[in-house]
């Protein structure tokens, strides 16, 4: 909670936990000051090694789980979250929400609402289109509904996390591009994760958002892919999203998890464009600390650098 306020991402009084999740990109000033060294990208290690890179304070490890007030029945008290996204270009040419790729991870509960103000500092129209939750057509984030922010302008989106919408979702721009389809913004970094929880869901110690697109994680190839860091025994949540025109097969070494909605224990899954999912692991459970690899298991993609490391520290 304090972290979220400290980051200055959200409007005053907003309780939603937002993280600049799993980003290898430069950070805004407030973020960097809260997380010294947070502007560092991946440690320049060349490959698997017995020597742990130093702690970087990577934004990949930054999230504050939404430990929210409950009533006497144990239900989370619904809240309207007022969130501000600033669409802007970063020094490396990425298009971003709030300066990071992915944009902030938004974490809410069923029953909550979101009032998201998008401020456009780009020289093209930009929008936020969300998956999974309820919204009226004027919050669709598309060109034909005129629900976008023009250059120098702003737009207000309203989402309702109705009962039945709990899950791992995502949001992205839907208007930048040569046509009405609007895929160019996604390609350049305008995407992020949305988590809708139910009361009583196990809360992670940290959450990482990984977006697979082309042969990238979060628009980076190794060695610039996010370095994900956790301590042994921490509950770590991954939100995995696919964009682009290819399927990807996500895998983490040494860890396994329960596939949502099934009794299957898995360590790999395949995902198509537009899909999102999430899962939780206990860092190093049964296997101990180490520099555990995460990667796409499609060989062409892996060979092109679609991998990174999940650093579990003792
Ligand atoms: Cu792949």
| Rounded distance between C-alpha atoms, residue 64 and residue 207, angstroms | 8
CB 293 within 8 A of CB 305: no
Q: DSSP letter string over 159-222?
A: EE--TT--EEEEEE--S-SSSSS--HHHHTT-EEEEEEEPTTPPPPSEEEEEEEETTEETTB-T
| Rounded distance between C-alpha atoms, residue 155 and residue 151, angstroms | 11
Report CA(82)–ligand 1 centroid distance (Å): 35
What pLDDT does 86 receive? 96
Report CA(249)–ligand 1 centroid distance (Å): 6
Q: Domains of the chain, with CATH numbers?
A: 206-313 (2.60.40.420)
Report CA(35)–ligand 1 centroid distance (Å): 31
Report CA(158)–ligand 1 centroid distance (Å): 33
Cα–Cα nearest to 67, from 199, 235, 208:
199
Three-state SS string across 44-68, please? Answer: CCCCCCCCCCCCCCCHHHCCCCCCC
Report CA(88)–ligand 1 centroid distance (Å): 28
Report CA(267)–ligand 1 centroid distance (Å): 15
pTM for the structure as a whole = 0.80
Report CA(271)–ligand 1 centroid distance (Å): 9
What pLDDT does 67 receive? 67
Q: What angle do CA 293, 196, 120 make, to 5 degrees?
A: 85
What pLDDT does 180 receive? 77
Q: What is the mean pLDDT of each run of 10 residues along the chain (314 residues)?
A: 35 34 32 28 32 33 52 85 95 95 94 96 98 98 97 98 96 91 93 93 93 97 96 96 97 94 93 97 97 98 97 98
Report CA(260)–ligand 1 centroid distance (Å): 21
What pLDDT does 53 receive? 35
Half-sphere exposure of 33 (CA within 13 A, CB side): 8
Report CA(188)–ligand 1 centroid distance (Å): 17
Report CA(302)–ligand 1 centroid distance (Å): 7
Report CA(268)–ligand 1 centroid distance (Å): 12
What pLDDT does 200 receive? 86
| Rounded distance between C-alpha atoms, residue 297 and residue 159, angstroms | 35
Report CA(123)–ligand 1 centroid distance (Å): 32
Report CA(8)–ligand 1 centroid distance (Å): 34
Please give all residues whose CB falls under 5 A of ion ligand 1, grouped by chain where several chains appear. 248, 296, 298, 301
Report CA(299)–ligand 1 centroid distance (Å): 8
Report CA(248)–ligand 1 centroid distance (Å): 4
């Amino acid at each position: 909670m304090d972290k979220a306020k400290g980051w200055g991402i959200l409007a005053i009084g907003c309780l939603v936990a937002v993280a600049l999740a799993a980003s290898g990109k430069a950070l805004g000033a407030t973020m960097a000051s809260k997380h010294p060294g947070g502007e560092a990208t991946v440690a320049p290690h060349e490959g698997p090694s017995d020597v742990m890179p130093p702690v970087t304070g990577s934004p990949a490890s930054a999230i504050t789980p939404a430990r929210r007030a409950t009533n006497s029945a144990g239900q989370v008290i619904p809240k309207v979250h007022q969130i501000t996204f600033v669409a802007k270009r970063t020094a490396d040419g990425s298009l971003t929400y709030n300066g990071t790729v992915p944009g902030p991870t938004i974490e809410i509960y069923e029953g909550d609402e979101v009032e998201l103000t998008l401020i456009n500092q780009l020289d093209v129209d930009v929008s936020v289109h969300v998956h999974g939750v309820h919204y009226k057509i004027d919050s669709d984030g598309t060109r034909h509904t005129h629900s976008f922010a023009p250059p120098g302008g702003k737009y207000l989106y309203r989402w309702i996390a109705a009962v039945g919408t709990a899950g791992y979702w995502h949001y992205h721009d839907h208007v930048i591009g040569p046509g009405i389809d609007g895929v160019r913004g996604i390609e350049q970094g305008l995407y992020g994760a949305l988590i809708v929880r139910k009361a009583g869901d196990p809360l992670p110690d940290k959450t990482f958002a990984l977006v697979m697109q082309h042969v990238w994680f979060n628009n980076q190839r190794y060695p610039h892919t996010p370095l994900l860091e956790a301590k042994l025994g921490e509950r770590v949540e991954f939100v995995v999203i696919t964009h682009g025109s290819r399927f990807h097969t996500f895998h983490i070494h040494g860890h396994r998890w329960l596939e949502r909605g099934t009794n299957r224990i898995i360590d790999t899954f395949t995902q198509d464009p537009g899909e999102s999912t999430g899962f939780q692991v206990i860092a190093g459970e049964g296997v101990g600390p180490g520099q555990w690899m995460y990667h796409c298991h499609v060989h062409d993609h892996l060979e092109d650098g679609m991998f990174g490391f999940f650093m579990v520290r003792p």
